[in-house]
Amino acid sequence: MSAESGPEPPEDLYQRLDHILFDKVEVLRRIAEMGREIEADYKGKPLTMVTILQGGMLFMADLIREVHLPMKIDSLSVSSYGSGTTSSGTVTFHQDRMPHLDGRHILILDDILDSGRTLRAIMDRFAKEGNPLSMKVAVLLSKKVERAADVTADYYGFEVGNEFVVGYGLDYDGEYRNLPVIGVLKPEFIH
Protein backbone atom coordinates (compact mmCIF):
# COMPACT_ATOMS: atom_id res chain seq x y z
CA MET A 1 0.00 0.00 0.00
CA SER A 2 1.35 3.44 -0.87
CA ALA A 3 0.14 6.92 -0.03
CA GLU A 4 -0.40 7.84 -3.70
CA SER A 5 -2.30 4.76 -4.84
CA GLY A 6 -4.54 4.44 -1.77
CA PRO A 7 -5.54 1.14 -0.19
CA GLU A 8 -5.29 -2.09 -2.18
CA PRO A 9 -8.68 -3.37 -3.37
CA PRO A 10 -9.88 -6.26 -1.19
CA GLU A 11 -9.05 -9.72 -2.53
CA ASP A 12 -12.56 -10.93 -1.70
CA LEU A 13 -14.70 -9.89 -4.65
CA TYR A 14 -17.85 -9.83 -2.50
CA GLN A 15 -16.38 -6.95 -0.52
CA ARG A 16 -16.27 -4.89 -3.70
CA LEU A 17 -20.02 -5.17 -4.17
CA ASP A 18 -22.36 -2.46 -2.99
CA HIS A 19 -25.24 -4.92 -3.05
CA ILE A 20 -26.29 -8.27 -4.48
CA LEU A 21 -29.26 -8.36 -6.87
CA PHE A 22 -29.52 -12.13 -7.41
CA ASP A 23 -27.69 -14.78 -5.45
CA LYS A 24 -26.43 -18.10 -6.76
CA VAL A 25 -29.49 -20.08 -5.68
CA GLU A 26 -31.92 -17.64 -7.31
CA VAL A 27 -29.93 -17.62 -10.55
CA LEU A 28 -29.77 -21.40 -10.80
CA ARG A 29 -33.44 -21.79 -9.92
CA ARG A 30 -34.45 -19.30 -12.61
CA ILE A 31 -32.20 -20.94 -15.21
CA ALA A 32 -33.84 -24.28 -14.43
CA GLU A 33 -37.24 -22.70 -15.14
CA MET A 34 -35.97 -21.27 -18.41
CA GLY A 35 -34.69 -24.73 -19.27
CA ARG A 36 -38.18 -26.22 -18.88
CA GLU A 37 -39.65 -23.57 -21.17
CA ILE A 38 -36.97 -23.96 -23.84
CA GLU A 39 -37.26 -27.74 -23.67
CA ALA A 40 -40.99 -27.56 -24.38
CA ASP A 41 -40.49 -25.14 -27.29
CA TYR A 42 -37.69 -27.05 -29.03
CA LYS A 43 -38.77 -30.65 -28.53
CA GLY A 44 -38.18 -32.60 -31.75
CA LYS A 45 -36.36 -29.69 -33.44
CA PRO A 46 -32.69 -29.54 -34.50
CA LEU A 47 -31.41 -27.01 -31.95
CA THR A 48 -28.10 -25.20 -31.78
CA MET A 49 -27.39 -22.85 -28.90
CA VAL A 50 -24.77 -20.22 -29.72
CA THR A 51 -23.35 -18.28 -26.81
CA ILE A 52 -21.65 -14.93 -26.97
CA LEU A 53 -18.20 -14.98 -25.39
CA GLN A 54 -17.06 -14.16 -22.82
CA GLY A 55 -20.12 -13.02 -20.91
CA GLY A 56 -22.52 -15.75 -22.01
CA MET A 57 -20.39 -18.73 -21.12
CA LEU A 58 -21.54 -19.26 -17.56
CA PHE A 59 -25.17 -18.88 -18.59
CA MET A 60 -24.73 -21.43 -21.36
CA ALA A 61 -22.95 -23.91 -19.11
CA ASP A 62 -25.83 -23.89 -16.64
CA LEU A 63 -28.69 -23.59 -19.15
CA ILE A 64 -27.70 -26.49 -21.42
CA ARG A 65 -27.70 -28.81 -18.43
CA GLU A 66 -31.32 -27.85 -17.80
CA VAL A 67 -32.47 -28.57 -21.36
CA HIS A 68 -32.75 -32.31 -21.71
CA LEU A 69 -32.91 -32.50 -25.50
CA PRO A 70 -30.41 -33.40 -28.23
CA MET A 71 -28.64 -30.18 -29.20
CA LYS A 72 -25.41 -28.73 -30.50
CA ILE A 73 -23.54 -25.84 -28.95
CA ASP A 74 -21.30 -23.21 -30.45
CA SER A 75 -19.89 -19.82 -29.51
CA LEU A 76 -19.08 -16.48 -31.03
CA SER A 77 -16.52 -13.98 -29.85
CA VAL A 78 -17.53 -10.34 -30.18
CA SER A 79 -16.88 -7.18 -28.25
CA SER A 80 -19.22 -4.28 -27.86
CA TYR A 81 -18.35 -2.61 -24.60
CA GLY A 82 -14.63 -1.88 -24.47
CA SER A 83 -13.51 -1.53 -20.87
CA GLY A 84 -15.95 1.07 -19.56
CA THR A 85 -19.50 0.83 -18.34
CA THR A 86 -21.22 2.37 -21.34
CA SER A 87 -21.81 0.84 -24.75
CA SER A 88 -19.39 1.72 -27.53
CA GLY A 89 -22.12 1.25 -30.11
CA THR A 90 -19.91 -0.71 -32.46
CA VAL A 91 -19.69 -4.48 -32.51
CA THR A 92 -16.45 -6.19 -33.48
CA PHE A 93 -16.43 -9.85 -34.56
CA HIS A 94 -13.24 -11.59 -33.49
CA GLN A 95 -13.55 -14.63 -35.72
CA ASP A 96 -14.15 -15.48 -39.34
CA ARG A 97 -15.70 -18.87 -38.76
CA MET A 98 -19.44 -18.56 -38.21
CA PRO A 99 -21.44 -21.27 -36.47
CA HIS A 100 -23.14 -23.81 -38.75
CA LEU A 101 -26.61 -22.33 -39.18
CA ASP A 102 -28.30 -24.10 -42.13
CA GLY A 103 -31.17 -26.37 -41.19
CA ARG A 104 -30.85 -25.57 -37.49
CA HIS A 105 -33.01 -23.69 -35.02
CA ILE A 106 -30.58 -21.17 -33.52
CA LEU A 107 -30.94 -19.94 -29.96
CA ILE A 108 -28.46 -17.13 -29.27
CA LEU A 109 -27.42 -16.76 -25.63
CA ASP A 110 -25.95 -13.72 -23.96
CA ASP A 111 -25.45 -12.46 -20.44
CA ILE A 112 -27.49 -9.27 -20.80
CA LEU A 113 -29.64 -7.42 -23.32
CA ASP A 114 -29.00 -3.68 -23.02
CA SER A 115 -29.14 -1.44 -26.09
CA GLY A 116 -29.65 -4.50 -28.28
CA ARG A 117 -26.88 -3.48 -30.68
CA THR A 118 -24.76 -6.55 -30.06
CA LEU A 119 -27.53 -9.08 -30.63
CA ARG A 120 -28.89 -7.15 -33.60
CA ALA A 121 -25.48 -7.19 -35.29
CA ILE A 122 -25.14 -10.92 -34.64
CA MET A 123 -28.62 -11.75 -35.90
CA ASP A 124 -28.11 -9.66 -39.04
CA ARG A 125 -24.84 -11.41 -39.71
CA PHE A 126 -26.35 -14.85 -39.15
CA ALA A 127 -29.25 -14.05 -41.48
CA LYS A 128 -26.79 -12.96 -44.17
CA GLU A 129 -24.42 -15.88 -43.83
CA GLY A 130 -26.73 -18.84 -43.43
CA ASN A 131 -30.23 -20.23 -43.54
CA PRO A 132 -31.28 -21.05 -40.00
CA LEU A 133 -34.77 -22.51 -39.57
CA SER A 134 -35.35 -19.93 -36.83
CA MET A 135 -33.41 -17.50 -34.65
CA LYS A 136 -34.33 -16.61 -31.10
CA VAL A 137 -32.61 -14.93 -28.17
CA ALA A 138 -32.19 -16.03 -24.55
CA VAL A 139 -30.46 -13.75 -22.06
CA LEU A 140 -29.93 -14.06 -18.35
CA LEU A 141 -30.70 -10.39 -17.78
CA SER A 142 -32.85 -7.89 -19.62
CA LYS A 143 -32.14 -4.25 -18.87
CA LYS A 144 -35.21 -2.07 -18.56
CA VAL A 145 -34.07 0.60 -21.02
CA GLU A 146 -35.18 1.84 -24.39
CA ARG A 147 -33.44 -0.36 -26.98
CA ALA A 148 -31.30 1.40 -29.58
CA ALA A 149 -31.69 -1.63 -31.86
CA ASP A 150 -34.71 -3.80 -32.59
CA VAL A 151 -34.21 -6.93 -30.45
CA THR A 152 -36.57 -8.75 -28.13
CA ALA A 153 -35.49 -11.33 -25.60
CA ASP A 154 -37.59 -14.41 -26.36
CA TYR A 155 -36.44 -15.79 -23.00
CA TYR A 156 -34.89 -13.87 -20.12
CA GLY A 157 -34.04 -14.69 -16.56
CA PHE A 158 -34.50 -11.40 -14.71
CA GLU A 159 -35.10 -7.76 -15.45
CA VAL A 160 -32.63 -5.21 -14.10
CA GLY A 161 -32.77 -1.43 -13.97
CA ASN A 162 -30.50 0.91 -15.85
CA GLU A 163 -27.39 0.28 -13.77
CA PHE A 164 -24.10 -1.51 -14.39
CA VAL A 165 -24.08 -5.03 -13.01
CA VAL A 166 -21.31 -7.61 -12.64
CA GLY A 167 -20.93 -11.28 -11.82
CA TYR A 168 -22.11 -14.56 -13.26
CA GLY A 169 -20.28 -13.89 -16.54
CA LEU A 170 -20.69 -10.12 -16.54
CA ASP A 171 -17.41 -8.21 -16.26
CA TYR A 172 -16.06 -4.85 -15.36
CA ASP A 173 -12.80 -4.32 -17.21
CA GLY A 174 -12.44 -8.07 -17.66
CA GLU A 175 -12.90 -8.97 -14.00
CA TYR A 176 -15.77 -10.21 -11.81
CA ARG A 177 -17.04 -12.80 -14.30
CA ASN A 178 -16.35 -15.55 -11.79
CA LEU A 179 -18.54 -14.04 -9.06
CA PRO A 180 -21.32 -16.60 -8.51
CA VAL A 181 -23.84 -13.82 -7.83
CA ILE A 182 -25.06 -10.78 -9.76
CA GLY A 183 -24.51 -7.42 -8.09
CA VAL A 184 -23.59 -3.77 -8.33
CA LEU A 185 -20.05 -2.56 -7.64
CA LYS A 186 -19.23 0.02 -5.01
CA PRO A 187 -18.46 3.26 -6.85
CA GLU A 188 -14.84 3.27 -5.61
CA PHE A 189 -14.13 0.16 -7.70
CA ILE A 190 -15.21 1.83 -10.94
CA HIS A 191 -12.42 3.90 -12.42
Q: Which residues are catalytic?
A: 114
If binding is defined by CB under 6 A, does position 115 make contact with ligand 5GP? Answer: yes
Angstrom distance (rounded) from CA 55 to CA 40: 26
**CB atoms near residue 158 (< 10 Å):** 16
Instruction: State the binding string over 42-71 for Mg ion (x if CB under 5 A, else -).
Output: -------------x----------------
The binder of 79, among Mg ion, ligand 5GP, none, by C-beta within 5 to 8 A per type, is none
Q: What is the DSSP letter of 16?
A: G
Angstrom distance (rounded) from CA 13 to CA 74: 30
Question: Which of the ranges 13-21, 25-33, 128-136, 161-169 carries the binding residues for ligand 5GP, by CB under 6 A?
Answer: 161-169
Q: In sequence order, what are the residues at sequence separation of 6 or more whose Cβ sits closer than 8 angstroms to the Cβ of residue 167? A: 17, 176, 177, 179, 180, 181, 182, 183
If binding is defined by CB under 6 A, does position 142 make contact with ligand 5GP? Answer: no
For 94-134, the DSSP string reads --SPPPP-TT-EEEEEEEEESSSHHHHHHHHHHHHH---SE
If binding is defined by CB under 5 A, does position 35 make contact with Mg ion? Answer: no
**CA nearest to 13, candidates 173, 191, 180, 174:** 180
Angstrom distance (rounded) from CA 14 to CA 32: 25
Q: How far is the CB of 183 from Mg ion (least distance, A)?
A: 16
If binding is defined by CB under 6 A, does position 166 make contact with ligand 5GP? Answer: yes
If binding is defined by CB under 6 A, does position 55 make contact with ligand 5GP? Answer: yes
Question: Which of the ranges 12-20, 29-37, 92-100, 111-119 carries the binding residues for ligand 5GP, by CB under 6 A?
Answer: 111-119
If binding is defined by CB under 6 A, does position 170 make contact with ligand 5GP? Answer: yes
The binder of 62, among ligand 5GP, Mg ion, none, by C-beta within 5 to 8 A per type, is none
By CB under 6 A, name the binding residues for ligand 5GP.
Answer: 52, 55, 80-81, 87, 110-118, 164-166, 170-172
